[in-house]
Amino acid sequence: MNSEAEKRSNMTMVAGDAGGVQASVGATYQLSSFPKIVSEGEFNAKIDSFRDVTAVRYYKRAKTLIIRGFLLNGRDAKPIPDTVSEEIIAGSARNEARVFLVRGNREAQLLWKGPKAEYGENYRRIRDRLCGPVRRQPRGRAANPRIIVHDSSLERTPCRRDGMGGTPCCGQQTPPGQKGHLQNGVDEAWRHLCAELGKCRDCWKGALLHPSARPLFGRFRPRLGGVLFVFEAPNLADTTDPKKGYLTYDPATDQTGKFTHELVTEILGLSIDEFQVTNAVLCLPAAKQSDGGTAYPVSNAQVRMCSKNIHRQVELLDPRVVVSVGRRALIALHKVESHPYRTMKEAVARPVEWADRWLFPLFHTSQQGRNGPSGRKPEDQRDDWRKLRAFLMANAVIGSVAE
């Protein structure tokens, strides 16, 4: 038990608002000794207003520290292996960043505090020391290898026990033309997710959508640990043509489809049914007249409301690499999990660690993205996709492409 003198001393540390408790590096604080600066109701109302699922998760982990005034927000959290209830919780105070070791939400030890610009390096150092270096689990071809042969009819997939990535059940190759247990499970899980997200009507409020809009998905064979492409929004033809109703990237669609098809099949060497693709927003945005004709710009509100849908697709497919195609896609992924990029110019073809995987930003392949004033010329985009191919091969996501 703390003495009354210690309790009174702790009380004097409170500056009067969240993030105002003064704390010394190395000191351990009994959290129950501090008054609640933020009420439970205020805290819940704050996170209920968030659309960023990652922010909600970290705020909830940092709840006790926020309510007691040690942090203004939750920025990172990591359980410490082989302990019952210890974890690293980090965030910002009024003028600095802080990293705490929290034991069962009862006591907190301040491990580091300093300028926010130095937060990332110091958080990773502490995390690696207490939790061990982050070791990426084998994904893609390393975790689920395939025999790559010229004749696709002879391609075989190892059989695995469960649908979401378990241990090999028999060690044998699935006969040509048949699916292993793993692939069956992924296919079914993907169908269920598309059916569920296809019922989403969040963006119908506020006239954000085209009258014919509905959630559209790609027609591909889902693969765990592969590469997922996130474009910006569905187009009008895919939305309104009764023969379509899904995302198409074939040469006959339009110039964007023709150019994208070239990049995917000729540079990456993927077939269209291997092209895992989604959009920053699942539905066609409302039309807007401009000097160049009718456009369908993606609004900030639509991106915000659809971020949870991207998160669920990433969570299920668990791609080794996520490729953002266009500025809006890059912004949308930032709402799922923060990344350092703010402009396409600084981000293009520069992979960065993101959400326990890699993010590889690219310019949009539309005519505006190729020929507009802030676009990137077709040959420069081809070079970017060659860099992507090299990156995917280096990370065992795709095999070599026959020249």
* pLDDT at residue number 302: 94
Q: What is the mean pLDDT of residues 151-174?
A: 36
Is a pLDDT exceeding 60 seen at residue 190?
Answer: yes
pLDDT band at 52 (very low <50, low <70, confident <90, very high): low
Could you say which DSSP state residue 341 is in? Answer: -
* Higher-confidence position of 17 and 399: 399
pLDDT score of 292: 64
Q: Which of 142-151, 191-200, 227-236 has the lowest mean pLDDT?
A: 142-151
On whether the CB atoms of residues 269 and 402 are closer than 8 A, the answer is: yes
**Would you identify the CATH topology of the domain 152-394?**
Uracil-DNA Glycosylase, subunit E (3.40.470)
- Decide: 389 and 312 in contact? Cβ < 8 Å: no
Task: Give the model's pLDDT for residue 63.
Answer: 93
pLDDT of residue 359: 96
Average pLDDT, the chain: 81
H-helix or E-strand spanning residue 322? strand 321-325
Q: Residue 310, by phi and psi: left (phi above 0), alpha (psi -120 to 50) or beta?
A: alpha
- Confidence at residue 16, expressed as pLDDT on a 0 to 100 scale: 38
pLDDT band at 165 (very low <50, low <70, confident <90, very high): very low
The pLDDT of residue 381 is above 90: yes
Mean pLDDT across 13-41: 79
What does the pLDDT read at residue 317?
92
Helix (H, G, I), strand (E, B) or coil at 316: helix
- Mean pLDDT lowest among 63-72, 135-144, 235-244, 249-258: 135-144
Report field, pTM of the whole predicted structure over 0.85 = no
Does the pLDDT at position 12 exceed 90?
A: no
Average pLDDT over residues 183-197: 87
102-137: per-residue pLDDT in tens?
Answer: 998 899 999 999 998 899 889 989 998 898 875 544
Say if residue 172's pLDDT is above 60: no
Range of lowest pLDDT (258-262, 287-291, 352-356): 287-291
Q: What is the pLDDT of residue 280?
A: 96
Q: What's the rounded mean pLDDT across residues 235-262?
A: 88
Q: How confident is the model at residue 152 (pLDDT cuts 50, 70, 90)?
A: very low
For the range 235-244, what are the long-range contacts, defined as Cβ-Cβ under 8 Å and sequence gap of 24 or more? Answer: 235/284, 235/296, 236/210, 236/284, 236/296, 239/210, 239/212, 239/213, 239/214, 239/283, 239/284, 240/212
User: Using an 8 Å Cβ cutoff, are 144 and 161 in contact?
Assistant: no
Residue 188 token pair: 């079914």
For residue 58, is pLDDT > 60? yes
What's the pLDDT score for residue 249? 83
pLDDT at 85 > cutoff 90: no
For residue 151, pLDDT over 70 is answered with: no
What are the extents of the domains in the chain? 4-131, 152-394
Structure tokens at 241: 């043509």
Looking at the predicted structure, is the pLDDT value of residue 173 above 60? no
What was the pLDDT predicted at 146? 36
Average pLDDT over every residue of 291-309: 88
For residue 102, what pLDDT is reported?
95
Distances 149 to 152, 178, 262, 263, 386 between C-alpha atoms, Å: 7, 16, 22, 21, 22
- Average pLDDT on 85-104 reads 92
Amino acid (1-letter code) at residue 211: P
Strands (E), 151-269: 158-160, 168-173, 227-231
Q: Is the pLDDT of residue 10 over 80?
A: no
* β-bridge pairing 293-295 and 288-290: antiparallel
pLDDT higher than threshold 70 for residue 43: yes
pLDDT of residue 45: 87
State yes or no: pLDDT of 163 exceeds 70: no
Report whether pLDDT(319) > 80: yes
> 57: which DSSP letter?
H
Q: What is the mean pLDDT of residues 269-286?
A: 94
For residues 299 and 311, give the distance between their C-alpha atoms in angstroms, rounded to a whole number: 18
| 84-97: average pLDDT | 90
pLDDT value at 255 more than 90: no
pLDDT at 183: 61
